[in-house]
Amino acid sequence: MKVAIATIGRRAAACLVLLLALVLPPASAEQRIDPAADQRAFQAYFRQAFPSVALNDFANGPYAVDKDMRKQWEEIMQFPPYDFALEDGKKLFETPFKNGKTYADCFPQKGIGIRQNYPYFDRQTGEVVTLDLAINRCREQNGETPLPYQVGDMAAIDAYMASTSRGKPFAIALPADPRAFAAYEKGKKFFYERRGQLNFSCASCHVQAAGKRLRGDILAPALGILASFPIYRSDWGSMGTVDRRFISCNDQVRSVAFKPEDELYRDLEYFLSYMSNGVAIAGPGTRP
């Protein structure tokens, strides 16, 4: 009797294994999450596509890959149009909140020279925290209202913090935490997924067509694509943060854009920044 029950138990277990094997897709090599391997392949693709562009120069987007644009840029950079924002940003950064504290009190190293570590995965809350989100959380912790994300004071503070980090290579950490890997995967999926009426993915323009012309623009390669943020764009006539750029690129393909600092945008920023590890921060930047 005992033997019979044991046999049935074993059979049931075998059935369950068989059932699971049918229901679950096989864990093939493609499906395993291996961000380090993704990063090597991503960087190798761009180094191969643009063999004469030095790694840090990818931070300069269209100027890294187009000679004529680069010339115009060198002229513009004699009086960088982001200088006003930079000055404002320094002042804002140093002005105490009503409670007497400052932004410096919220950040490691008092906020100086840390841009390259953002976004980071916060193991306490289980989410990706961008620099801009951290700036607003700092304000809220100190009883101030959060700033609008895409322009203005946020872009200015961002510009100042980036400027103190120039030359420091992106050093985005991916902690051994399944939630961090899940966030990375979500960002990656968002980057490669086709969407909108035009059915384009981010990669359609910034990987496959990187360096090519689209109307008046030269498409920036995705490697190092966030290293110069925030940027002053002549066609915006003002500064813009990463959120502003993500939203306008979503609009370009006529797909629904998300709210600034939406979880998906933060995961996307995490993925793109991690792909760019090793590219030095060059922000704030200027663009045509």
- When CB distances to ligand HEC are compared, the closest residue is 61
User: What is the amino acid identity at position 71?
Assistant: K
In whole angstroms, what is the distance from residue 179 CA to residue 161 CA?
28
User: Binding ligand HEC by CB under 6 A: which of 155, 161, 219, 281?
Assistant: 219
Q: Which of 26, 284, 34, 9 is nearest to 184 (CA)?
A: 34
C-beta separation of 241 from 149 below 8 A: yes
Backbone φ, ψ for residue 76 (5° rounding): -60, -35
User: Binding ligand HEC by CB under 6 A: which of 34, 214, 234, 259?
Assistant: 214
With a CB cutoff of 8 Å and minimum separation 6, the contacts of 163 are: 86, 89, 283, 284
Least separation in angstroms between residue 202's CB and ligand HEC is 3
Q: Is 225 in the site for ligand HEC (CB under 6 A)?
A: yes
Report the Cα 182 to chain-centroid distance in Å: 15
Comparing CB distances to ligand HEC, the nearer of 92 and 223 is 223
Q: Which of 106, 138, 202, 249 is catalytic?
A: 249
In whole angstroms, what is the distance from residue 288 CA to residue 279 CA?
22
Q: Is 249 a catalytic residue?
A: yes
Q: Is 281 in the site for ligand HEC (CB under 6 A)?
A: no
Binding to ligand HEC (CB under 6 A): which residues in 242-261?
Answer: 245-246, 249-250, 252-253
In whole angstroms, what is the distance from residue 248 CA to residue 242 CA?
10
- Could you give the string, one character per residue 172-211, with x where binding to ligand HEC holds by CB under 6 A and - elsewhere? ----------------------------x-x-xxx-----
- Could you give the string, one character per residue 57-96, with x where binding to ligand HEC holds by CB under 6 A and - elsewhere? ----xx----------------------------------
* Distance (Å) of CA 29 to CA 33, 34, 37, 94: 9, 9, 11, 50
Binding residues for ligand HEC (CB under 6 A)? 61-62, 200, 202, 204-206, 214, 217, 219-220, 225-226, 231, 245-246, 249-250, 252-253, 268, 287
Active site residues: 249
